[in-house]
């Protein structure tokens, strides 16, 4: 199946040279970097935060709270950007993100930190979406693929570099500096964005679907809390478990009913009805679940199984970063040359599945983990460049914000789901591990009792990656104009 439709107003694009693109990219790079790095920044800093604030068992919600808040607001930012202008909406998102960063730095308890991370995520949900939409607004699809390697490399560096930066900072200073540094960075980003031309809105439809946002957040939070807590906070068949599952199902049903009847729904259903966009969203969700499971639990695997330090375990994620940069750069160049991105993520996620399966069956030391991490990263790197440009091309110029928000929403939702569920799986398979005394287990727990849980999780991640490859194969053929 071929989608040969030309996006509205596509003819207004003029050829973009590298210098022109870099001027645009340097304006949106910092918001994109901050949005990506803050999703993984605390991966290696979590034990120290728990030591100061308490409650290691619930610290995964520091990441999940941010990811869910970003997911809930991503479609709203896409709609507002289409209506009021993407530059102006991005400036608002930066302001909210700054306030949230200050609140995180000032948090005095784990509950306060989770709430502040939610506030930060409310701003972070617009940073990546609107930055990529600005690029889509000013650069044609075929040329966008040519330059995709730049921001795919930045995204990979931020996502995987987050644990490395976090480990280095907490080894030499307070974890609060991870948030304080966002304030001057946001100020610089505002100055750079102010140099871009003022945007014009395209979508005159109403965009206020706050009931949809509330229903979406409630359904996702309830479902993830149930799946990640069942079996250790409460039995699966307990009244609390059954009640939570029922409430989440009701909220999900109400969300579907409400979105179908709203004139401008929170979820862009008119775009999700297109097979290309629907399967791109599914592929991105599955890919993000695998990638973030690797980012958050590979350092824990290395610390528990091989007694590496937080800094060393963060550094051992660098091969994964290099693989993602390599995969995204090569993918972008291939798409720019042939103009058909369809089969690239199919092959890429197949390679990632093989690498994850190898991690699951081999007793891999740190060096082997690095090699397999590069292979897995190369497969991961094929997804975002191809999914983003495919969705934007099919949706057309006037709906770039809403289309880009689908990919960002899918990525955030997959990241939150992967972080919560893979964490629950790993710790459920280690019944003797007391999460309140993780540091003692790093020093004293026998390696043979810990590694099988991670090996099982890697095999589950391999199966999810294989499903992502299959979903990518269902994306119809789209030619980039």
For the chain, the domain total comes to: 2
Q: Residue 448 CB: number of other CB atoms within 10 A?
A: 9
Distance separating alpha carbons of residues 406 and 394, to the nearest angstrom: 12
Is residue 228 domain-shared with residue 333, that is, in the same domain? no
Q: Are 442 and 434 in contact (CB under 8 A)?
A: no
Q: Is 270 within the bounds of a domain?
A: yes
Length of the chain: 481
pLDDT band, very low/low/confident/very high, at 53 (cuts 50, 70, 90):
confident
Task: Point out the domain boundary residue: 263, 279, 298.
Answer: 263
Q: CA of 105: how far to CAs of 174, 178, 373, in Å?
A: 10, 8, 32
Q: Is 1 within the bounds of a domain?
A: no
Q: How far is CA 98 from the centre of its chain?
A: 19
Identify the residue with better confidence: 439 or 76.
76
Q: Residue 319 CB: number of other CB atoms within 10 A?
A: 21
pLDDT at 7: 41
pLDDT band, very low/low/confident/very high, at 12 (cuts 50, 70, 90):
very low
Identify the residue with better confidence: 287 or 422.
287
pLDDT at 147: 60
Q: CA of 352: how far to CAs of 153, 370, 430, 461, in Å?
A: 18, 14, 26, 9
Is residue 235 domain-shared with residue 338, that is, in the same domain? no
Q: How far is CA 447 from the centre of its chain?
A: 31
Q: What is the pLDDT of residues 200-235, one digit of tens each?
A: 655 545 456 778 878 887 887 788 778 767 666 777
Q: Are 457 and 293 in contact (CB under 8 A)?
A: yes
Q: Residue 368 CB: number of other CB atoms within 10 A?
A: 13
The fraction of the chain above a pLDDT of 70, given in percent, is 75
pLDDT at 348: 92
Is residue 436 domain-shared with residue 448, that is, in the same domain? yes
pLDDT at 439: 44
Q: What is the CATH number of the domain that holds 313?
A: 1.20.1250.20
Task: Point out the domain boundary residue: 247, 263, 279.
Answer: 263
Q: Are 132 and 32 in contact (CB under 8 A)?
A: yes
Q: Are 403 and 8 in contact (CB under 8 A)?
A: no
Q: Is 2 within the bounds of a domain?
A: no
Is residue 236 domain-shared with residue 177, that is, in the same domain? no
Render 131-157 in DSSP notation, one character per residue: HHHHHHHHS-HHHHHHHHHHHHHHHHH
Give residue 63's domain range. 13-197+264-478
Is residue 375 domain-shared with residue 250, that is, in the same domain? no
Q: Is 39 within the bounds of a domain?
A: yes
As given in the structure block, the two tokens for residue 233 are 């906070």
Is residue 153 domain-shared with residue 283, that is, in the same domain? yes
Q: Is 407 within the bounds of a domain?
A: yes
Phi-psi region of 105 (alpha: psi -120 to 50; beta: other; left: phi over 0): alpha
Q: Is 4 within the bounds of a domain?
A: no
Identify the residue with better confidence: 24 or 69.
69
Is residue 231 domain-shared with residue 164, that is, in the same domain? no
Q: What is the pLDDT of residues 143-195, one digit of tens each?
A: 665 565 666 667 666 766 676 777 777 777 788 888 888 888 888 888 888 87
pLDDT at 4: 41
Is residue 279 domain-shared with residue 259, that is, in the same domain? no
> Mean pLDDT over residues 260-273, rounded?
76
Residue of 415, 392, 417 whose CA lies nearest to 480: 392
Is residue 84 domain-shared with residue 167, that is, in the same domain? yes
Q: Is 8 within the bounds of a domain?
A: no
Is residue 256 domain-shared with residue 275, that is, in the same domain? no
> At residue 44, does pLDDT exceed 60?
yes
Q: Are 406 and 412 in contact (CB under 8 A)?
A: no
Is residue 315 domain-shared with residue 440, that is, in the same domain? yes
Q: Residue 232 CB: number of other CB atoms within 10 A?
A: 13
Mean pLDDT check: name the lowest of 294-298, 380-384, 385-389, 472-476. 294-298
Render 455-466 in DSSP notation, one character per residue: HHHHHHHHHHHH
Task: Point out the domain boundary residue: 219, 244, 263.
Answer: 263
Is residue 226 domain-shared with residue 179, that is, in the same domain? no
Q: What is the pLDDT of residues 334-378, one digit of tens each?
A: 877 777 777 889 999 999 999 999 988 887 677 888 888 899 999
In 12-140, which residue ranges form alpha helices assigned H by DSSP?
Answer: 18-37, 46-53, 60-84, 86-106, 110-138
Identify the residue with better confidence: 464 or 457.
464
pLDDT at 438: 47
Q: Is 3 within the bounds of a domain?
A: no
pLDDT at 380: 92
Identify the residue with better confidence: 228 or 285.
285
Q: How far is CA 228 from the centre of its chain?
A: 19
Render 203-267 in DSSP notation, one character per residue: --S----HHHHHHHHHHHHHHHHHHHHBTTTB-TTSHHHHHHHHHHHHHHHHHHHHHHH-SS-SS
């Amino acid at each position: 199946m071929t989608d040969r439709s030309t996006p509205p107003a596509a003819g207004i694009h003029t050829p973009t040279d590298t210098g022109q693109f870099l001027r645009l990219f340097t304006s949106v790079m910092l918001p994109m970097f901050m949005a990506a790095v803050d999703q993984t920044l605390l991966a290696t800093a979590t034990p120290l935060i728990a030591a100061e604030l308490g409650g290691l068992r619930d610290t995964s919600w520091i990441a999940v709270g941010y990811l869910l808040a970003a997911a809930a607001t991503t479609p709203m930012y896409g709609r507002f950007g289409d209506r009021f202008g993407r530059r102006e909406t991005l400036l608002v998102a930066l302001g909210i993100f700054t306030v949230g960063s200050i609140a995180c730095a000032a948090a005095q308890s784990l509950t306060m930190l989770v709430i502040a991370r939610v506030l930060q995520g409310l701003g972070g949900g617009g940073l990546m979406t609107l930055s990529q939409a600005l690029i889509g607004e000013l650069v044609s699809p075929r040329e966008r693929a040519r330059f995709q390697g730049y921001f795919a490399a930045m995204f990979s560096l931020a996502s995987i570099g987050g644990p490395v930066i976090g480990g280095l900072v907490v080894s030499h200073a307070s974890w609060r500096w991870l948030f304080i540094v966002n304030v001057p960075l946001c100020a610089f980003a505002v100055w750079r964005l102010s140099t871009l031309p003022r945007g014009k809105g395209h979508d005159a439809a109403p965009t206020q679907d706050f009931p949809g946002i509330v229903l979406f957040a409630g359904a996702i939070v309830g479902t993830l809390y149930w799946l990640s807590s069942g079996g250790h906070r409460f039995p699966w068949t307990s009244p609390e478990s059954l009640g939570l599952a029922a409430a989440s199902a009701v909220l999900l049903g109400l969300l579907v009913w409400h979105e179908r009847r709203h004139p401008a729904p929170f979820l862009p259903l008119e775009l999700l009805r297109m097979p290309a966009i629907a399967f791109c969203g599914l592929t991105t969700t599955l890919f993000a679940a695998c990638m973030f499971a690797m980012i958050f639990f590979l350092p824990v695997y290395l610390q528990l199984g091989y007694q590496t330090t937080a800094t060393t375990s963060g550094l051992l994620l660098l091969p994964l970063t290099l693989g993602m940069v390599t995969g995204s750069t090569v993918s972008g160049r291939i798409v720019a040359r042939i103009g058909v991105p369809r089969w690239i993520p199919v092959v890429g996620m197949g390679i990632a599945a093989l690498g994850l399966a190898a991690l699951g069956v081999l007793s891999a030391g740190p060096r082997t983990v690095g090699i397999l991490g590069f292979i897995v990263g190369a497969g991961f790197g094929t997804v975002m460049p191809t999914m983003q440009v495919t969705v934007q091309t099919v949706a057309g110029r006037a709906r770039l914000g809403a289309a880009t928000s689908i990919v960002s929403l899918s990525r955030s939702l997959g990241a939150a789901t992967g972080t919560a569920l893979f964490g629950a799986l790993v710790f459920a398979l280690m019944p003797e591990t007391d999460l309140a005394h993780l540091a003692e287990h790093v020093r004293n727990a026998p390696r043979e009792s810990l590694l099988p849980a991670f090996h099982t999780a890697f095999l589950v991640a391999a199966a999810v990656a294989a499903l992502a490859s299959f979903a990518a194969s269902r994306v119809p053929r789209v030619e980039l104009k």
